[in-house]
Structure 1
Amino acid sequence: MHNNYIYILVMFGVSFLIRVLPLTLIRKEIKNVTVRSFLYYVPYVTLAVMTFPAIMHATAEPLAGLAALVIGIVVAWFGGGLFPTAIICSLTVFVLEHFI
């Protein structure tokens, strides 16, 4: 009833078009400031959209994940590197899950 090869072919086609169309349709440098700004932030937004649900669902207590997220943002805001921020967030989840 369902043909997996058709699904794979459609996924291939969509993925291919997403990558090839911009290369073939846009030949000149993009000079519009709004479009350039939008394209600059797309990777960060994509990463945030994928990461946020994982933060909330990776812990046994969603409140611990939310607290780690807030503390991680504060630590990063004040110049904490990736490794110290990850350690502090992990310790936050560890401590909160044992006391909640």
Structure 2
Amino acid sequence: MNNVLILIFGMALVTYIPRLLPFLIVSKSKLPDGLRQFLTFIPYTALGALIIPGVFNSIPELPLAAIMAILFATIYAWKKGGIIVPVLGSIGVAFAVLYLNNFLGL
């Protein structure tokens, strides 16, 4: 049991140090405005890189449903903001396109 606790503490320390060091280094210095602005875009690009491929691969037999859902979510979020309505609306749009495809045979 003692070895397990040492192993858990060691893994926690090894995981925590790489997260702490950049914070300590960056917090003491002022970043240039260009770099600061560049760093603000990283969460959006990372989220897009993780989500967009999965959306297009979710319905490979009918990519139009994914495209229409993405278009709805993008336009609604751009105009009105929020996250709940674009997500639920894009689900509804994808469902409607899939239903129309099955019902009408488009």
Both structures adopt the same fold (TM-score exceeding 0.5): yes
User: Does the CA-based 8 Å contact 1:55-1:65 persist in structure 2?
Assistant: yes
Is 2:33 the counterpart of 1:33? yes
Count of matched residue positions in the alignment of Structure 1 and Structure 2: 90
Q: Offset of 1:89 from its aligned partner?
A: 0.6
Cα separation, 2, equivalents of 1:27 and 1:88 = 40
TM-score by length of 2: 0.66
Q: Which runs of 5+ in 1 are unaligned?
A: 1-12
Cα separation, 2, equivalents of 1:17 and 1:67 = 44
Equivalent in the alignment of 2:95 = 94
Deviations 1:49-88 (A, max 9, x none): 1111111112242221011101111111121532221121
Equivalent in the alignment of 1:57 = 57
Q: Which runs of 5+ in 2 are unaligned?
A: 1-13
Let me know the Cα RMSD of the aligned residues: 2.7
Percent identity, aligned pairs only, is 23
| Rg larger for | 2
User: Does the CA-based 8 Å contact 1:68-1:89 persist in structure 2?
Assistant: yes
TM-score by length of 1: 0.69
Cα separation, 2, equivalents of 1:39 and 1:86 = 26
Where in structure 2 are the equivalents of 1:10-29 lying within 5 Å?
A: 19-23=19-23, 25-26=25-26, 28-29=28-29
Equivalent in the alignment of 1:44 = 44
One-letter amino acid matched to 1:19: R
